[in-house]
Chains A and B, each alone.
Chain A
Amino acid sequence: MNSTAVRSLLVRGMLAGLAAGVLALIVAYLMGEPHVDAAIAFEEAHAHEHGEVELVSRAVQSTAGLATGVLVYGISVGGFGALAFCFALGRVGRFGARATAALLSGAALLAVYVVPFLKYPANPPSVGDPETIGKRTTLYFLMMALSILLAVAAVIVGKRLAPRLGTWYATVAAAAGFALAVGLAYAFLPAVNEVPEDFPATLLWQFRLSALAIQVTLWVSFGLLFGHLAERVLNPKAAPAVERTAAPEAAAPAV
């Protein structure tokens, strides 16, 4: 039964990730694409040479290409999220399925995206030297891996401290430790600044803001959708009880 539960959670996680990906795609298309176009226009105005062969047209890149990238990313986030949920359920604290899913996706948004983003933010086309792509890719994935490991370590340390400090202060201490370790990583990892001198600051800010909005949409909607689906898998009989708990108090103890 347990293996079946993991399988159905995994399938629902990937479906919830796909649905969250659709919402993120809408944000990406409406909020992000205008900035990508503006950055490409800047790049073309400043290019010294022309005549590159266009393998994929801009019309395809900004629609089917964007959809492929965001949806495949959404499915992978959903699959990883579901596996992490299976592990976290009942092991992190006394949370139900929906609360576990919401907390997990919030923490994952922070550890997987926001922490690496604050050190190595998303860049629009024309920002970034093609010569340093290897170094930048290594640093980005290193920062991401480090951030995830530190977040997992913070949860483990928090659990260990809980009997001595109580849940609240153990959580505060673990979060402070996480912030300190992330700060040290920020200080010691090399900085990357390859923004062309006359690149519009507003465009850079708006592009990065839209990149952040895409991730927030993806992870928050995944957490809520997957929590709803997971609750129904793990607690199939409880669904009608939602109305019962909302009813007068006399009916509530029946749960």
Chain B
Amino acid sequence: MAQSAAPAAIPAAPLTLPLKAIAPWAVFFGILMLALIYFVGAEQGATSLISGESVHEWVHDGRHLLGFPCH
């Protein structure tokens, strides 16, 4: 009985989500997430989209502690 109960917990055919359903979300949100990581991790360091140092200075401690090269 103990053995027969164990396999029942594993679904016979694991559920998969079709790639067509994932792709639009992946493209749009992938770009959005990359932009967020860029502003936290790299803006006003090696490259600069916004002039000045304000973004860099604001996220300074997070950038160091999250392991991104800072200055």
A contact residues vs B (CB 8 Å cutoff): 2-3, 5-7, 10, 28, 32-33, 36, 55-56, 60-62, 64-70, 72-73, 75-76, 79-80, 83, 86-87, 89-91, 94-96, 113, 116-117, 120-125, 128, 130, 133-134, 136-138, 140-141, 210-211, 214-215, 234, 245, 249, 252-253, 255
Contact B9–A255 (Cβ < 8 Å) = yes
Contact A130–B71 (Cβ < 8 Å) = yes
Partner of B4, one of A73, A120, A253: A253
- Which residues of chain B in 28-71 are interfacial with respect to chain A, using CB atoms and an 8 Å cutoff? 29-30, 32-34, 36-37, 39-42, 45-47, 52-54, 57-71
Contact B57–A234 (Cβ < 8 Å) = no
Contact B17–A76 (Cβ < 8 Å) = no
B residues within 8 A CB of A122? 64-68
Inter-chain residue pair count (beta carbon < 8 A): 176
Contact B65–A89 (Cβ < 8 Å) = no
Contact B61–A133 (Cβ < 8 Å) = no
Name the prevailing secondary structure of the A interface residues. Answer: helix
Given contacts A10-B29, A86-B17, A113-B67, list 11 more A-B pairs with CB under 8 A: A2-B17, A2-B18, A3-B24, A65-B62, A69-B61, A73-B66, A79-B33, A83-B29, A96-B14, A133-B46, A137-B69
Q: Give Cα A58 to B18, complex, Å.
A: 48
A residues within 8 A CB of B30? 80, 83
Q: Give Cα A64 to B62, complex, Å.
A: 10
A residues within 8 A CB of B64? 36, 122-125, 211
What is the minimal beta-carbon distance from A147 to any residue of chain B, in angstroms? 13
Task: Write the chain A residue with the least CB distance to B18.
Answer: A2
Contact B17–A125 (Cβ < 8 Å) = no
Q: Give Cα A117 to B67, complex, Å.
A: 7
Give 5 closest A-B pairs by Cβ, nearest first. A69-B62, A90-B16, A90-B14, A137-B46, A122-B67
Contact A133–B45 (Cβ < 8 Å) = yes
- The answer to whether residues A69 and B17 also contact, given A56-B58, A128-B70 and a CB cut-off of 8 A, is no
Q: Give Cα A96 to B21, complex, Å.
A: 20
B contact residues vs A (CB 8 Å cutoff): 1-2, 4-5, 8-11, 14-19, 21-22, 24-26, 29-30, 32-34, 36-37, 39-42, 45-47, 52-54, 57-71
Q: List 24 A-B contacts (CB under 8 A).
A: A7-B25, A10-B25, A33-B65, A36-B61, A56-B54, A56-B60, A61-B58, A64-B58, A73-B41, A76-B33, A79-B32, A83-B25, A89-B15, A91-B16, A94-B10, A94-B14, A124-B64, A125-B71, A133-B45, A136-B69, A137-B68, A214-B66, A215-B67, A245-B9
B residues within 8 A CB of A138? 46
Q: Give Cα A6 to B30, complex, Å.
A: 13
Contact B62–A83 (Cβ < 8 Å) = no
Contact A211–B58 (Cβ < 8 Å) = no
Contact B71–A210 (Cβ < 8 Å) = no
